[in-house]
Amino acid sequence: MGSDYRTERVDPTRMVQEFPPGHDGQPRRHLPPHAYEHHEPPRHPSAADVASVLGLPADAISPELLAAVVPLLAEIDRLHWAADHAQRRADWLERQSDRHSVVPCLTRRAFVRELETFLAGGETEGVLALVQVAGIEALRQLYGLAAGEAALRHVAGNILGALRASDMVGCLGGSDFAVLLPGTPEEQARAKMQSICARIADPAFVWLGFSVPLTPAHGLYTLKAGEGAEVALAAADLARRGLG
């Protein structure tokens, strides 16, 4: 295996969601309403401000003209603030839509977009892996939502902890994960995914003192430049089911 892969286990995997890469080290909390807003104290335009806007010398600004123009400048400032606020909110929503709500992975939408970009870039070497973990849904039904989410973090931690910074991981929904391994030969990718699946299964996931067996299965597909992301995902899924 290449030396650029990480080999250490992620410990503790239960902290993967609370302390994602690039976070400031504090537990992630939901932002309060309007947290993306940036409030500034109202600005009171001076005669010099009005003169600069109108292209006149400051001594040409009479009190009457100042009183008439100030409300217009205040409205311009308000519109600038509203536009800045709308852009900030759009950026925040875009980041939220790309980030999975439980594990520090891309959502399906974001992963497919990044995979499409990779394939359209003319890359000729890369492998797409699909990992499906059996047992999480049964765990969720038996112990509840928190148990299922903890198992997803266990899986994501073992996947992310064994990959390079250049690799991409997406949670496609349920217990299905997709991994993009750019510039990786198929045999190397197969050995890496086998190692990851072994880590997911052993040691067993533990919830409330009970060992819960998780059974991962994976499929690989060697990517071809110019093909579609959905076609590649379908081919990797066929390989996972032994039909490819």
CA 103 to chain CA mean position, Å: 9
Buried/exposed code over 137-166 (b: 16+ C-beta within 10 A; e: otherwise): eebbeebeeebbbbbbbbbbbbbbbbbeee
- CA-CA distance, 240 to 214, in Å (whole number)? 16
Structural domain harbouring 110: 101-240
pTM: 0.65
pLDDT in tens, 30-74: 455 555 555 565 566 666 766 766 776 777 777 777 777 777 777
Is there a single domain that holds both residue 56 and residue 79? yes
pLDDT in tens, 151-160: 999 999 999 9
Return all residues near 227 (Cβ < 8 A) that are at least 6 apart.
Answer: 119
216 C-beta neighbours (distance < 10 Å), count: 23
Confidence of residue 216 (pLDDT cuts 50, 70, 90): very high
Is there a single domain that holds both residue 212 and residue 122? yes
Is there a single domain that holds both residue 94 and residue 209? no
Q: Is residue 25 part of a domain?
A: no
Domain stop point among 63, 98, 133? 98
Q: Write the CA distances from 26 to 15, 16, 22, 76, 167, integer angstroms.
A: 11, 12, 11, 38, 25
More confident residue, 24 or 86: 86
Confidence of residue 15 (pLDDT cuts 50, 70, 90): very low
DSSP, collapsed to helix, strand or coil, labels residue 170 as strand
CATH classification at residue 217: 3.30.70.270
Confidence of residue 78 (pLDDT cuts 50, 70, 90): confident
Is there a single domain that holds both residue 115 and residue 223? yes
Kindly state the percentage of the chain with pLDDT values over 70. Answer: 73
- Give the chain's domain count: 2
**What's 56's DSSP letter?**
-
